[in-house]
Structure 1
Amino acid sequence: MQTASPVLPDSEIEDLVRTHFGLEGTAEWLWGEKDSNHRLTLGDKRTVLVKVLNPGEPPSTTDMHSRALLHVARADPGIPVQRIVPASNGAPDIRIPGPEGNTRAVRVVTFLPGQALSGATHSVAQRYNIGLMMARMQQALASFEHASASHKLTWDMTYSLDLRGVCNCLGEGEERAALTQCLDLFQDEVLPRLTQLPSQVIHNDFNSENILVDPADTDRVSGIIDFGDMVRAPRVFDVAVGASYILDDESEPVESVFDFLKGYASLARLTRPEIEVLYPCLLARLVMRLAIPSWRATLFPNQAERLLRKHDLVRRTLARVRAYRQQAFTEQSAAVFQRVSQ
């Protein structure tokens, strides 16, 4: 997260994939938070995505992401994830020289159809289907193991308290106090119960840019992309992540999150301890969505506008959730899973 990812010229991308993947096409740069991404249009008009990964990403982490994509495709072929296009030597990714004598990985994947959830109209059925897709993804990843699955990750909620220093520089007065109170709640109610929370490798980034929907039927999820934040962590963290983005729709009340939970509950169950920590986890993720982009904007001021484009929206979402009583949120969440089990 602290390492810049130099953008390779399109011509260099074209030469690279021709040499290592046997693909001929025209490259076009796409913005990415951590990586240098390029769409490659092949001669037959098919498109693939070329990801030149951040030089700061360890090779073992890259390997985990590649193998997770392969694993999900085998475990549940119906989940619409990108398929890996292997290199000419059969490997799922390759390594090339980096900018400072290091190396960086290159992965080529299929380009999924659809539009980002952030730009689509929203509905009860759509939120239900996103929850269902998360449950399917968790079930597919439940059997996935990798030596790097427990690597320390900035976006892992387990380490959200590390952001206290950043939060002390955000906002003023009551707003700053609210961020601190959210982290205090996470420290008091979640961290002591970590051993009670079922853990596995999770996607950890069901956000409105990583979920694609069918433009002709926006209730249907047509793609789940970006495994770059995956980690072994309590699965309820995954649910809280998804819920935080569902709530970005300000035209809908906080109760809209229960449509998402109903979809999830149609296939999977949260235990009582998980349900009881869902609310503080949701608040913690919203705090992370404010703190981490703000921190990165100081590191990369040329990307500040892009990184902070949703800052005010997340602030309002956090205020809406905090105004909703924790006990009421927990009881309604429990009712969702109770109704499904009857």
Structure 2
Amino acid sequence: MAEKHSKPNFSHSQASEILKRCYNLTTLEIRSLPSYDDQNFYVVAVEGCKCILKILNSEDSKNPDLIEMQTFVMSFLHQNGLPAQTVLPSTSGQLTSMEEVDCGYGLQKYLVRLFTYLPGTTISQVPSTPQLLFETGKMAATMDKVLQEMRHPKISVLEREKFIWSLTNVSLLEPYLHLLDGDPLQEVVKSIFHQFKTSVEPQRSNFRKGINHGDINDLNVLVEPDGNDGHRISGIIDFGDMHTGYYIHELAITITYMMIEHPNPMEVGGPTLAGWESVLPLNEAEKDCLYVLVLSRFCQSLVLARHSVTLHPENEEYLMITSRKGIYIVSQLWKLGKEQVEKVWFESAAQLNKRK
């Protein structure tokens, strides 16, 4: 998790200067894009290209091997026909540059990359039809399946054992529970963490391992019109949370975030699960843990958002987007209980897969 003083704060003119110096591109249009702890700019250059300039927080910039791995993964997925961004080389042929700038906390080093621009709008902007949710689940599973074939000498950097956003590491959040003091939700979160320890951890040896994107959320999936009044997926972005995990974690994360913008969150699990299982059918242990894993992801998101707000109160509005809706959804799912929620998800997935 990034530290308080690590989020970059480059001006538009500083970003334009980097584009000119490193990529020989002259900025025609530049605008900031939202980000959790990095800084992103959408750029249109006089030379005719559209691209995304990403400036990494100073904490993550200290791990160039991990960045190299993420860059390689995007390229590998792109080569295998998936809509991932790729990194554009600088005029000297480098895929990254290191900028030392004072963003108000003294001189710090920030790693900079330039990405290809993917067309489309975020999936949060369009209606989440069952078909689109099916496609999202299918895309997530396809990505994890393709990554099975990837080989790279530095692949072990994806282990990220203490990575706080990994669903393996839910128990690492217990020291942060005090941030919910006085909140009635605290008892629910404690109960979910207990369920995680007693019902998920003992079954983990039966989960299938894989490399997870780790953050398939409603801002990281891009869509464009498909010509039939619907939408198709045009991009998967932001591989900053990528790590070695388990297939079932990827599915749980995808369901969690697809619920957030949906007017009826309970309707999300079935189609997303059906799409996932059209590529990677679940085994019994994975099925049994899905409900608690979804709840655990909501809890991770709620607790870490509270923590981030204490570090970056100026960014509260963006940080709490997921959190506010998540509180309502967690309470509903917890009240309904495992049996009821699973019945809805698995029955609607089965019906959808019959029709496919």
Q: TM-score, normalised by structure 2?
A: 0.88
Measured against aligned partners, the alpha-carbon deviations of 1:282-313 in whole angstroms (never above 9, x if no partner) come to 11000011111110000111112221133221
Q: Which residue of 2 aligns with 1:188?
A: 198
Q: Does 1:259 align with 2:264?
A: no
Q: Which residue of 2 aligns with 1:241?
A: 253
* CA 1:271–1:332: 2 relative to 1, 3 Å: farther
Aligned AA (1:325)? G
Q: Which residue of 2 aligns with 1:155?
A: 165
Q: Does 1:165 align with 2:163?
A: no
Give me the whole-angstrom Cα distance separating, in 1, the residues matched to 2:316 and 2:304: 12
Contact 2:98–2:109 (CA under 8 A) maintained in structure 1 = yes
Following superposition of structure 1 onto structure 2, how do residues 113-262 of structure 1 map, counting pairs within 5 Å?
A: 113-144=119-150, 145=152, 146-151=155-160, 152-170=162-180, 172=182, 174-215=184-225, 217-252=229-264, 254-262=266-274
Q: CA deviation at 1:39?
A: 1.5
Secondary structure of residue in 2 paired with 1:206: coil
Secondary structure of residue in 1 paired with 2:233: strand
Give me the whole-angstrom Cα distance separating, in 2, the residues matched to 1:228 and 1:214: 23
Give me the whole-angstrom Cα distance separating, in 2, the residues matched to 1:2 and 1:215: 39
Q: CA deviation at 1:175?
A: 2.0
Secondary structure of residue in 2 paired with 1:80: coil
Taking every aligned residue pair, what percent have the same amino acid on both sides? 21
Q: CA deviation at 1:149?
A: 0.5
Give me the whole-angstrom Cα distance separating, in 1, the residues matched to 2:351 and 2:178: 40
Aligned AA (1:110)? T
Q: CA deviation at 1:256?
A: 2.9
Q: Which residue of 1 aligns with 2:294?
A: 282
* CA 1:203–1:178: 2 relative to 1, 3 Å: same
Aligned AA (2:158)? A
Aligned AA (2:142)? R
Give me the whole-angstrom Cα distance separating, in 2, the residues matched to 1:173 and 1:44: 53
Q: CA deviation at 1:169?
A: 2.6
Contact 1:135–1:268 (CA under 8 A) maintained in structure 2 = yes
Aligned length in residues: 340
Secondary structure of residue in 1 paired with 2:111: strand
- Over the aligned positions, Cα root-mean-square deviation in angstroms equals 2.3
Pairing partner for 2:99 from 77, 96, 101: 96
Q: Which residue of 2 aligns with 1:73?
A: 78
Q: CA deviation at 1:45?
A: 4.3
Q: Which residue of 1 aligns with 2:3?
A: 2
Aligned AA (1:137)? M
Pairing partner for 2:38 from 35, 39, 53: 35
Q: CA deviation at 1:124?
A: 0.9
* CA 1:291–1:102: 2 relative to 1, 3 Å: same
Pairing partner for 1:299 from 311, 319, 326: 311
Give me the whole-angstrom Cα distance separating, in 2, the residues matched to 1:312 and 1:253: 14
Q: Which residue of 2 aligns with 1:14?
A: 16
Contact 1:265–1:337 (CA under 8 A) maintained in structure 2 = no
Aligned AA (1:30)? L
Q: CA deviation at 1:65?
A: 1.3
Unaligned runs of 5+ in 1: none
Give me the whole-angstrom Cα distance separating, in 2, the residues matched to 1:31 and 1:256: 25
Contact 2:256–2:298 (CA under 8 A) maintained in structure 1 = yes
Q: CA deviation at 1:209?
A: 0.6
Aligned AA (2:326)? V
Contact 1:124–1:256 (CA under 8 A) maintained in structure 2 = yes
Q: CA deviation at 1:154?
A: 1.9
Contact 1:254–1:320 (CA under 8 A) maintained in structure 2 = no
Give me the whole-angstrom Cα distance separating, in 2, the residues matched to 1:304 and 1:174: 21
Q: CA deviation at 1:332?
A: 5.8
Contact 1:122–1:218 (CA under 8 A) maintained in structure 2 = no
Q: CA deviation at 1:30?
A: 2.3
Aligned AA (2:45)? L
Contact 1:115–1:215 (CA under 8 A) maintained in structure 2 = no
Q: Which residue of 1 aligns with 2:86?
A: 83
Moved more, 165-174 or 123-132: 165-174
Contact 1:120–1:218 (CA under 8 A) maintained in structure 2 = no
Measured against aligned partners, the alpha-carbon deviations of 1:71-130 in whole angstroms (never above 9, x if no partner) come to 1112x22x2111221122323222222545553211111111111111211211111111
Aligned AA (2:218)? S
Give me the whole-angstrom Cα distance separating, in 2, the residues matched to 1:119 and 1:213: 9
Pairing partner for 2:52 from 38, 49, 54: 49
* CA 1:32–1:173: 2 relative to 1, 3 Å: closer
Unaligned runs of 5+ in 2: none
Give me the whole-angstrom Cα distance separating, in 1, the residues matched to 2:112 and 2:168: 29
Contact 2:135–2:272 (CA under 8 A) maintained in structure 1 = yes
Contact 1:84–1:107 (CA under 8 A) maintained in structure 2 = yes
Secondary structure of residue in 2 paired with 1:193: helix
